[in-house]
Amino acid sequence: MRQLAIIILLIFVISDLFGQESENKNTTIFWDTSLSMKDRDLGKDLSILEKVFSRVPDQEVQLILFNIATVEKKYQIKNGDWDLLKKDLEAVIYDGANVYALINDRAEHPNIYLFTDGNRVYEADTPNLPAKSFLINSSPYRDEEFLKRTALINRNRLMDFAAILPENIGSLKKKESGNALMIKGKVYINDTPAPDVVVSVKGLSNAIRSLADGSFSIEAQPGDSLLLSSRANNTYKVIPIAGEQSLAVFLEANVVSLEEVVLIEKRQRAGAEVTTAYGKEDEDKIGYAVQSIDEETITPIQTDVSQAVLNKFSNVSLGNTEDLSKATMRSNTSILNNNYSLVVIDGVPQRQSDSSRGAGAQTSFDYVNPDNIASISVLKGYAATNKYGSLGANGVILITTKTAMISKQNGEPADLARLTDNIYSESTDATANAVSDVRKKLEQTASLAEAYSEYINMRSDHSSNMNFFYESYDYFKSRDTEMAATTISSVLELFPNDVSTLRGVAMALSPLNFHEEVIRINNEILRTNKNNVQAYLDIALAKRALNEPQNAIDLLLDLDRAQKYPSLNTTGVQKTLKREMRNLVFLERNRLNLSQLPSELLNNLKYNVRLVFEWSDPEAEFNLQFVNPQKRYFNWEHNRLSASERMKDEILNGYTSEEFEFYGEGVQGKWILNATYLGNIDITNQEPLVLKCSLYQNFGYPDQTVEEIVVHFTTRDETKQLSTLLVK
């Protein structure tokens, strides 16, 4: 009886369809071409249009095909002949994600028909159609609740053919009760995703355990607290629920293993060792004071060597620019001579900046990786001039890297050895892995249309493999940006939209100039994690790319001032935040309201090259490699061994970016940028790592340019070359 009632209701709606048309007989059709619509019952959809054109045989039709982009066509229907329109609808290829915002306010005619299944990527994305528009679905896998809610809010007429399918009759969706929240999160023990951690609402008996990847999902009320505990690791933590629906919880194991110790005799304390110009020596024997810090004092947050030195030594100043090359240890009493200190790296004196000359005489030490520094010592007076003579008259900053060796010859101290293991060889450092089977098949096609057809043919066999869509995106991005965007947006239709998946797609869309979509994706990230700093920053930069400089600077200022977003911790992106604001003011000064801007933003920085890296997952482990013109390479490491505290900070505060710059003399020539994927701290995570590099040349100059490079990784130890760069 219920099935009969639904059929009668549909007949009534169809009859109403043709009984209440407006005086203007023209029609607008919105036709959803997203991937989820491939299972639609095309015959039922076309039967609706057949009746429309039989009743009004002469009319104009506006057709808008939409997924992540739109295609608009016009048809003149005469004597009910709509064969051309029908053939075009029958030839539609269904791919990518849909965006309802693209069709709002696009209808040119009063009789409106939206054919869609209601499946969408963004929670806040809804069609906004005039009252009495028709909402029609023939797909069995529709979002029934969304279709009903949309029809009710817009006062649309809903025709859901899937409602009469046997499997859908009488189906009920579980309703969420009260104000309950579904809290999702991930728990880490000692910075590693931890399974089998007990998660419960404090005060209640029901509990669940975290899965193999450390993830959990539990229902709670606002104001509740979660209790996470692990008996095996003797640790627990209580987390209050304050409206967050996505949590990252870090625990420390309290398991201590004791070994038997036998005390034989009291050993006389050896004098502490300090690093001097001749290696490590007993501080009680050298006869002069040496200030030193070691690797424990250099935190992962300090992303360049200047930050590692800043405020660590008495009477050592880095000047207003906080630049190691401009370090001074004495008052600047010389007018014509150089006041800057000498920097020595692994026993090798570096070219000094010259305070008596212009910018062209300055040196950069940005290539020195703070993670690779074992110690930094400051030598003054006799300690500096004893070996380096007049070069050390202004003091010496002695940097020892972890890769350096200390040797002794005939019992006498010897100079610290020069680096011997960072010579770059293109024959041993692979810059590209073998071409995948997917890429091979696409490249064997004779035309772009044939390549896209081959992609569609392969898709059914690879729909559960995210890497397939990134490989296809890589092929299309240099040939057709809309095809590439549609292809990669399919990831949003087929895979759970966690933060790393959303961010990866947004990064892939950015160089295709789909900046509005980048904003929508980052707003979706903020819907699940309102404290994700990177999402706020990326929205502002997308506004800048959309030629909305005032909106962009306002968003960046809100982020920097921490008044609008007091719960955000922007420490990890402060360098990028400041530079983006200064550069935006430099480029768009005449279009901005400068009255409220701090004076520090009115002067831009200038670099030969600026590199901004972003990655999709803070749990990913990888290395960035910079090869200088002398074929020496320097690595920036993002892994548990070298950057565990930084990775933890990224997870907690929601940022995944870092930047580097080349400037001054000594950086000219050919540079090579490589990246190597090392895996994921979550061993169950098989998603590709997406890495984006924004490469600015002549940054801060009128002829500044930027190129966005996006690559993805799926295999451990996979190395890819990002760019070869000629620095002038």
Which pLDDT tens digit goes with each residue over 649-662?
999 999 999 999 98
What was the pLDDT predicted at 586?
A: 94
Where in the chain are the domains?
A: 2-164, 181-251, 274-413, 496-727
In whole angstroms, give the CA distance from residue 372 to residue 403.
7
Rg of the Cα atoms in the chain = 31
Comparing 419 with 506, the larger pLDDT belongs to: 506
What's the mean pLDDT in 163-181? 52
CA distance 343 to 365: 9
469, pLDDT greater than 60? yes
The confidence score (pLDDT) of residue 332 equals: 55
CA 483, CA 471: separation in Å to the nearest integer? Answer: 13
Model pTM above 0.95: no
In this prediction, residue 27 has a pLDDT band, given cuts at 50, 70 and 90, of: very high
Q: By C-alpha distance, which of 90, 96, 136 is closest to 120?
A: 96
Judged against a pLDDT cut of 50, whether residue 563 lies above it is answered with yes
- Write the class of the CATH domain 181-251: mainly beta
- State how far the Cα of 193 lies from the Cα of 429, in Å rounded to an integer: 31
Residue range 355-381: mean pLDDT, rounded: 74
pLDDT in tens, 181-237: 788 889 998 888 888 898 888 767 678 888 888 889 888 877 778 888 887 777 878
Residue 274's pLDDT is 66
- Judge whether residue 52 has pLDDT over 70: yes
The DSSP 8-state label assigned to residue 463 in this structure reads: T
Asked whether residue 1 carries a pLDDT value surpassing 60, the answer given is: no
**43 or 663, which is more confident?**
43
Quickly state the pLDDT bin for 271 (edges 50, 70, 90).
low
CA-nearest of 70, 96, 101 to 491 is 96
pLDDT band at 409 (very low <50, low <70, confident <90, very high): very low
For residue 417, pLDDT beyond 50:
no
Assess whether pLDDT exceeds 80 at residue 517: yes
Q: Quick one: average pLDDT of 579-602?
A: 92
pLDDT at position 719? 93
- Quick: pLDDT tens for 481-500: 999 999 999 999 999 889 99
Rank 52-61, 260-269, 340-349, 382-391 by mean pLDDT and report only the highest.
Answer: 52-61
Q: What is the pLDDT of residue 151?
A: 95
Mean pLDDT of 10-15: 49
Q: How far apart are CA 510 and CA 518, in angstroms?
A: 7
Q: Where in 92-212 does DSSP place strands (E)?
A: 111-115, 134-137, 157-160, 181-189, 192-193, 198-201, 207-209
- The reported pLDDT for the residue numbered 562 is 78
Average pLDDT rounded to a whole number, residues 8-14:
48
Summarised one tens digit per residue, pLDDT across range 332-364 is 545 456 778 888 887 778 877 776 665 555 677
Position 31 pLDDT exceeds 90? yes
CA dihedral for 349, 355, 356, 362, sign (positive or negative): positive
Spatial separation of the C-alpha atoms in residues 558 and 215, rounded to whole Å: 32
Give the percent of the chain with pLDDT over 70: 82
Reported confidence tier of residue 113, pLDDT bands at 50, 70, 90: very high
Q: What pLDDT does residue 169 have?
A: 45
The confidence score (pLDDT) of residue 357 equals 60
What does pLDDT average to over the chain? 84
The pair of structure tokens assigned to 84 is: 């051309």
| Amino acid identity, position 695 | L
Pick from 295, 193, 252: which is nearest to 620 by CA? 193
The answer as to CATH 2.170.130.10 being correct for domain 274-413 is: yes
What are the pLDDT digits (tens) for 148-169? 999 999 999 999 998 765 544 4
pLDDT reported for residue 543: 97
For helices 481-494 and 515-528, give the axis angle rounded to 10 degrees.
20
Burial of 184 (0-12, 13-18, 19+ CB in 10 A): middle
**Structure tokens given for 460:** 């059914």
pLDDT of residue 372: 80
The band of 177, judged by pLDDT with boundaries at 50, 70 and 90, is very low
User: How high is the pLDDT of residue 418?
Assistant: 36
Q: How big is the CA angle at 96 (ends 95 and 97), to the nearest 5 degrees?
A: 130
Q: Please state the rounded mean pLDDT for residues 625-640.
A: 90
The alpha carbon torsion through 512, 514, 517, 518 (nearest 10 deg) reads 60
Rounded to whole angstroms, how far apart are CA atoms 353 and 338? 8
To the question of domain 496-727 being in CATH 1.25.40.10, the answer is: yes
Tell me which of 144-153, 309-318, 692-701 is least confident: 309-318
In this prediction, residues 102-106 reach a mean pLDDT of: 95
Select, from the ranges 33-47, 555-569, 679-693, the one with the highest average predicted confidence (pLDDT).
33-47
In the CATH scheme, what architecture does the domain 2-164 have? 3-Layer(aba) Sandwich (3.40)
What mean pLDDT is predicted for residues 469-478? 96
Query: What pLDDT is attached to residue 427?
Result: 57
Percent of the chain with pLDDT over 90: 50
Q: In the predicted model, what is the mean pLDDT of residues 101-109?
A: 95
Strand blocks (E) in 119-230: 134-137, 157-160, 181-189, 192-193, 198-201, 207-209, 215-220, 225-230
